[in-house]
Amino acid sequence: MGILEVKNVSKNFGGLKALNNVTLDVRENTVHAIIGPNGAGKSTLLNCLVGKLIPDTGSVMFDGQSVLGRKPFEINQMGISRVFQTPEIFGDLTVMENMLIPIFARRDGAFRMHAIESVAHESAVLEQAEKMLIDMKMIDKRHMHAASMSRGDKRRLEIGMCLSQEPRLLLLDEPTAGMARADTNNTIDLLKQIKAERDITIAIIEHDMHVVFSLADRITVLAQGTPLVEDEPQNIRGNPKVREAYLGETA
């Protein structure tokens, strides 16, 4: 049994079958990559997991409970946290201020800007934010404005902000898109660290095969809205069906 169980999910846009009977199990405490050529349905699937889209048919269960029909914030409260392609951080705020936002939001149910102004009196919140910045190896950057950091550090901060919500499932949507190699390698190292140190399941959509093969325990290949194959990385690499789906792309 997986912590996330997708069964017979289909989603049409007009006449287009973006997802066609997708079944997929993500096992607890693994990194599960979902790969596939452009237009394969990866983002559509992710959107069905977080309540941004409702499938036409099928079921999506997280830890035995259906996520379908729930709003994104309710799914987040169930323990699913999503990291977007473009980092969702506040560039005008410092690294520390950014980190405080999800911690206040989790404690108070909502975040209000004036919470940051009175944070000096909130030792528990400050301690939690500091601890996460230490874990993320960003404590020395706490006073920097988030906008001035490298893409890799912005991603690091955003992942830390997601982790402060203590999710059981972290969904990563192309976390290294547009990154230089050094930032990509940094992000791989961070995700390896998270995998080793935390009780967490990670599902990742990624085009960069170096990232996929560095991290994944299992890989599902989607093509034209249908799972083509699901297996361990060593069995995916040389799979002729996968090579065919990519039409010459490196898999």
Ligand X SMILES: Nc1ncnc2c1ncn2[C@@H]1O[C@H](COP(=O)(O)OP(=O)(O)OP(=O)(O)O)[C@@H](O)[C@H]1O
Residues that bind ligand X (CB under 6 A): 13, 16, 18, 36, 38-44
Name the residue nearer to ligand X (CB basis): 145 or 207.
207
Least distance in Å: CB of 158 to ligand X? 19
Name the residue nearer to ligand X (CB basis): 18 or 161.
18
- Rounded CA separation 59/198 (Å): 28
Name the residue nearer to ligand X (CB basis): 15 or 240.
15
Least distance in Å: CB of 52 to ligand X? 10
Least distance in Å: CB of 60 to ligand X? 15
Q: What value, to the nearest 5°, has the Cα angle with vertex 228 and ends 222 and 233?
A: 85
Least distance in Å: CB of 228 to ligand X? 12
Name the residue nearer to ligand X (CB basis): 40 or 194.
40
- Rounded CA separation 101/118 (Å): 13
Contact 176, 206 (CB under 8 A): yes
The one-letter amino acid at 183: D
Cα dist from 202 to 142, 172, 196, whole Å? 26, 7, 12
| DSSP-assigned states of every residue in 141-186 | GTTSBGGGS-HHHHHHHHHHHHHTT--SEEEEESTTTT--HHHHHH
Q: What sign for the dihedral angle of Cα 96, 85, 149, 112?
A: negative
Name the residue nearer to ligand X (CB basis): 2 or 39.
39
Name the residue nearer to ligand X (CB basis): 111 or 246.
246
How far apart, in Å, do the first and last CA atoms of the chain sit?
Answer: 28
Least distance in Å: CB of 8 to ligand X? 17
Least distance in Å: CB of 2 to ligand X? 21
